[in-house]
Structure 1
């Protein structure tokens, strides 16, 4: 860690900073330049980070050398993490293609959508059983009945399934039916929930919060990792901005940004990022080109009747066309899509 001293700091203040560092059990190295004095501190940076060194008189800035997310960091884990969910791999050149409706509305419609997205090339089926809605009067999901339908559809079409878990009290129930947990944007910093899913062995797709930085996202992943669950997949799904023509602003720079700092896979959700069906194909192609390890797309056979987020859902034929394009792009980028082992979800 580096402590930057204020230009007008007195010798007494500098000596006090040095003495305080020694009191804490660390080794200070003083470097005095013509315009600036800095103190290099040698020791356990994680423990040092907890000390309020910037509150000391004469200190201008405290700069950590190591990343605060030690388990997710490339500094400790150089190779990309590859996660296997029933034969579907993500990371290390493997693409996870998640598709399905925003909400599980019934058995017949989910089975129809599942059949079509699987035929198009999707390798994970999504569907919300519990829906966090802005209005308490909007459709809130089918709960456990929806989970049963989702599991049955995944088994029928040999696809792992993913659904959102919203509360620590739901983890045990959702774990019973799903192959991957989804932590939504509103819960990205629900630390009790992160700790709870961290104590399971299920893969976790962690979505970036609407006002969260990339560092915030990775630090939330650190909660899951620190509890023992190493199967974390990050998801860029857009952040809030002043632009009003899209639902959110898709930050594609987050993909290479995350990959430069972190070994975990990252996917992109262009459906929630744009909120517009017409923009999803272009943003999905751009996501894979930027290095994403997959895309998460909402598909509905009749969006105008969807109980949740119809305007941002592709029709099955549109999804099929997009997947053909993404398959060609994957070939160019030397990436591949794997599929569930036969009977893996039975």
Structure 2
């Protein structure tokens, strides 16, 4: 009796467009002067929420000086409590656009619903689909009909196949510029906010051609663990990081406990650069050998 292959065939994979079987070469997503997925490491950073014009421009300048490649910031905030700060909406997007003009950093921000998608696309360079909306199929199809790159975060309890099927919704509408983001999943563990599933990085690299970045801020929920998990993500082969940083984390309107300071970010960028160079040297040595 013939031995069955352990690898899935093209017909068995439900995510046809996201599968590496149908698209062997890695996808590279271009955002202004950046190329995500080309073997380099792209770092996106900024506060969880845009709180004011001065706040976002100040932090953007500090992060740009420290080496950040993109600016992140929430204008629309999905919060567990209806009484928590929900974001500044379009005003926050305008402040982000001003920060981009001041620093040259492309911006990524979350869009929560179809109603605000067109308006948000007038300001931002990449649309973020948050974990709570990973299976909002109407929204996924809508962003799939835009030309904006999409950062698709993994759902709180989503399997990797469910995550790739969500990417399939975007791809099937004609938008090929999808970047996956592992941001931790909900498990029984309570010592951290989530359990950062770094298994997802090599698994995605094997199953899909789409770039994958890692969010150690949401993945741990605690600032002191962000550096360690950032380094682990790079070692695992991630195409980038998305980090929360704030001038005064203790007074942040959202997620201050997981935000690092600009000085901590600067040190982390140095460490990421050193590790990235070492990993590239090791890979080249293996290839040559």
TM range (shorter): over 0.9
Deviation at 1:188, TM superposition (A): 0.2
Question: 8 Å contact 2:76–2:110 — kept in the other structure?
Answer: yes
Question: 8 Å contact 2:10–2:22 — kept in the other structure?
Answer: no
Structure 2 match to 1:246: 192
Any unmatched runs of 5+ in structure 2?
Answer: 282-289
Structure 1 match to 2:94: 148
Structure 1 match to 2:46: 100
Distance 2:10 2:92 in 1: 46
Count of residue pairs the alignment pairs up = 275
Structure 2 match to 1:46: none
Structure 1 match to 2:261: 315
Query: Aligned to 2:12, what secondary structure does the other structure show?
Result: coil
Structure 2 match to 1:11: none
Distance 2:106 2:66 in 1: 15
Distance 1:319 1:64 in 2: 42
Structure 1 match to 2:149: 203
Structure 1 match to 2:20: 74
**What TM-score do you get using the length of structure 1 for normalisation?**
0.78
Query: Aligned to 1:177, what secondary structure does the other structure show?
Result: coil
Deviation at 1:109, TM superposition (A): 1.0
Residue 260 (structure 2) pairs with residue 290 (structure 1): no
Residue 26 (structure 2) pairs with residue 86 (structure 1): no
Structure 1 match to 2:285: none
**What TM-score do you get using the length of structure 2 for normalisation?**
0.93
Query: Aligned to 2:71, what secondary structure does the other structure show?
Result: strand
Distance 1:150 1:185 in 2: 22
Query: Aligned to 1:111, what secondary structure does the other structure show?
Result: helix
Write 1 or 2 for the structure with the bigger share of strand: 1
Structure 2 match to 1:170: 116
Question: 8 Å contact 1:89–1:95 — kept in the other structure?
Answer: no
Residue 158 (structure 2) pairs with residue 212 (structure 1): yes
Deviation at 1:90, TM superposition (A): 0.5
Deviation at 1:64, TM superposition (A): 8.4
Structure 1 match to 2:74: 128
Q: What are the superposed Cα offsets for residues 272-326 of structure 1, whole Å, 9 maximum, x if unpaired? A: 0100000000000000110000000000000111000000000000000000000
Write 1 or 2 for the structure with the bigger share of helix: 2
Deviation at 1:94, TM superposition (A): 2.4
2:203 to 249, 257, 269: 257
Q: What are the superposed Cα offsets for residues 175-216 of structure 1, whole Å, 9 maximum, x if unpaired? A: 010000000000000000000000001000000001000111
Deviation at 1:140, TM superposition (A): 0.4
Question: 8 Å contact 2:10–2:16 — kept in the other structure?
Answer: no
Distance 1:186 1:145 in 2: 23
Across the aligned residues of Structure 1 and Structure 2, the Cα RMSD in angstroms comes to 1.4
Residue 177 (structure 2) pairs with residue 192 (structure 1): no
Any unmatched runs of 5+ in structure 1?
Answer: 1-32, 39-62, 336-346
Query: Aligned to 1:334, what secondary structure does the other structure show?
Result: helix
Deviation at 1:156, TM superposition (A): 1.1
